[in-house]
Amino acid sequence: MPGPLSHLTVIELAGIGPGPFACMLLTDMGARVIRIDRPPAPARGGLDSLMRNDSVVDRGRQSLALDMKQPGAVEAVLRLVEQADILIEGFRPGVAEKLGLGPAACHARNPKLVYGRMTGWGQTGPLAKAAGHDINYVSLTGALHAIGTAAQPVPPLNLVGDYGGGGMLLAMGVLAAHAQAGHTGQGQVVDAAMTDGAALLMAAQYGLMAKGFWVDARESNFLDGAAHFYGTYECQDGKHVSIGSIEPQFYRQLLELCGITDPHFQQQWEAGEWPALRAKLAQVFRTRTRAQWCELLEGTDVCFAPVLSMNEAPDHPHNVARGTFVRDEGVLQPAPAPRFDRTPSALPKKAPRTGQQTRELLAAARYSAAEIAELVAGGVAFDALP
């Protein structure tokens, strides 16, 4: 595989959400990721159907399907652990230990292994064993309270907890631990909690609040929709544009290019004037279509961009020039990032079918052909469904 992590082997105990996203980041950068799946079965509907074998987030894996309730399956995973650099699991605390695949069991086979644990609440604390989702984790950190309208918090999709505060934090954590293991020969456990990660993403806001520059209320601050110079505006055609003219030189250019001469706009940082100034600026943006505003403002220092839909974004000239999105076998998806000049990443293969590499991976774990046949016949290991 191309990419800077082509020397790494990662074991992924299959789950949903941030753990798979962390593994997607690793495989995008060249790591070999072996996903341990449950036995293949028809999708049960609901979230199972939505998340299983996701053609984007699960790209690049190899799939080994095992019935983890059987001791033979646990032994197969431990044999793979002996050859791995990193293991990632996203169970509730204690579940991996009950399976026989906790950190102690894995480190007994491979002391250098980095053991990454992805949870919402973390491995410790009074909520550690409770169920939850992204919206609950970001609620506990102040992040959700800060996002939305003055009347009500609005979930920022599941980007702040699951993916930014979860998957990306875990990927960084296991790579840091792997770098340290390279110096000491000793692995360690990485406890990545979405509550911790979402709190970290709020570092700037907590810092601004400490200096008296942030009010702990929605739509009261320059980055949360209150300020007229940082927000979105509807255009004549019903589409929207975004403005981020924070710095005075950028704000001046906004006024100049929009032909605004009203002296009221000179009170940029008077928070009490923001509602009236926002209403006035909204009237200005309703005078042209989004395309017309793009022609006037895009590429300037106004800090401007059109608000594009998911279908529109891949066709924007900037995204096209950089190859930010790719299409593989008809599936539109974000390309691997960041960019590396010496060891560039490439789009991995599409997500495997559950159990697609079962026999190949068991052979790599030093099982003979006869032993593999016995594991499959005994319902310990499973081939992919046709």
The average pLDDT across 354-382 equals 96
CA angle 271, 250, 317 (to 5 degrees): 120
Please state, in angstroms and rounded to a whole number, the distance separating the CA atoms of residues 224 and 271.
12
DSSP 227: S
Q: Sign of the C-alpha dihedral, residues 55, 57, 61, 67?
A: negative
Q: Which amino acid is at 257?
A: L
User: What confidence score (pLDDT) does residue 385 get?
Assistant: 77
Catalytic residue among 54, 133, 328, 383: 133
CATH of 9-201+328-382, one of 1.10.730.10, 3.40.50.2300, 3.40.50.10540, 3.40.50.970: 3.40.50.10540
Listed in sequence order, the residues at least 6 apart from 162 whose beta carbon sits closer than 8 Å to its beta carbon are: 17, 18, 21, 134, 194
pLDDT digits (tens, 9 = 90+) for 220-248: 999 999 999 999 999 999 999 999 999 99
Please state, in angstroms and rounded to a whole number, the distance separating the CA atoms of residues 27 and 11.
11
Parse the chain into domains and list their residue ranges: 9-201+328-382, 230-234+240-306
User: What confidence score (pLDDT) does residue 41 get?
Assistant: 75
Cβ contact 319:325 at 8 Å: yes
Q: Is the pLDDT of residue 375 over 60?
A: yes
CATH code reported for the domain at 230-234+240-306: 3.30.1540.10
| Residue the block writes with tokens 């793979």 | 80
Q: Which amino acid is at 371?
A: E
Q: Is the pLDDT of residue 105 over 90?
A: yes
Cβ contact 381:64 at 8 Å: yes
Sheet holding 240-244, edge to edge: 230-234, 240-244, 304-306
Half-sphere exposure of 109 (CA within 13 A, CB side): 22
pLDDT digits (tens, 9 = 90+) for 285-333: 999 999 999 999 999 999 999 999 999 999 999 999 999 999 998 899 9
Please state, in angstroms and rounded to a whole number, the distance separating the CA atoms of residues 361 and 367.
9
183 is catalytic: no
Q: Is the pLDDT of residue 127 over 80?
A: yes
Catalytic residue among 58, 162, 196, 224: 162
178 is catalytic: no
**Where does the pLDDT of residue 51 fall: very low under 50, low under 70, confident under 90, or very high at 90 and above?**
low
- E strands along 211-310, which residues? 230-234, 240-244, 304-306
Please state, in angstroms and rounded to a whole number, the distance separating the CA atoms of residues 206 and 381.
50
Q: Which backbone phi and psi does 310 adopt, to 5 degrees?
A: -60, -30
The two domains 9-201+328-382 and 230-234+240-306 share their CATH topology (first three levels equal): no
Cβ contact 72:79 at 8 Å: no
